[in-house]
Structure 1
């Protein structure tokens, strides 16, 4: 798993090229920081639909919480909020992909 770091997107000026902040998704999955204002950006530049899964390690009253999934059609982009519900034992979110060909990802922090 590759450890993704956050790129700050300022509220004034923004980030002109989101894809420039993105890196190739790792075949074994990635980890990412979690918290307020953090989002996983995914660009599926490939020719097939891709499914991105963020593990939800916690339980509610002893019942497992379903993992979050994002299904992206070919050529589409998406965002997943990286809230504290995804915080694993390492303090980071665990992210997996059904395939990584032509998939790039970035962790974006919305900040001042």
Structure 2
């Protein structure tokens, strides 16, 4: 599972670079980190962020976001450590229901 490189927005501007989505990826958690997903496929798709948080011993639900078909463009986040950091590596795990015509970028402000 590859880790997306987080691109940082700054005063000089940022031309975000998108990569093809894989079945699953990881992201460095951060209060100002977001996942940007673009879907040009003819079908909608879902992005699932695996929650690792627990409240009173009960697991918090995963976050599932539907990205519309054709011109779907979703910013998802923030990808916070308290909700998503994996126990073994501290990274957030993301799964995509489809990767055909789907591009992604991790962005931090």
TM-score by length of 2: 0.90
> Partner residue of 1:47?
42
Shift of 1:13: 4.5
> Partner residue of 1:77?
73
Aligned equivalents of 2:76 and 2:91: distance in 1? 14
Aligned equivalents of 2:103 and 2:34: distance in 1? 14
What value does the CA root-mean-square deviation take over the aligned residues? 1.2
The runs of at least 4 aligned residues of structure 1 exceeding 4 Å deviation read none
> Partner residue of 2:108?
109
Shift of 1:14: 3.3
CA offsets, 1:22-61, max 9 Å, x none? 101112x000000121001101111100100000012110
Unaligned runs of 5+ in 1: none
Q: Residues 63-74 of structure 1 correspond to what in structure 2 (within 5 A)? A: 63-74=58-69
> Partner residue of 1:98?
97
Unaligned runs of 5+ in 2: none
TM-score by length of 1: 0.88
CA offsets, 1:64-110, max 9 Å, x none? 10001110111111111111111112110000011110111110010
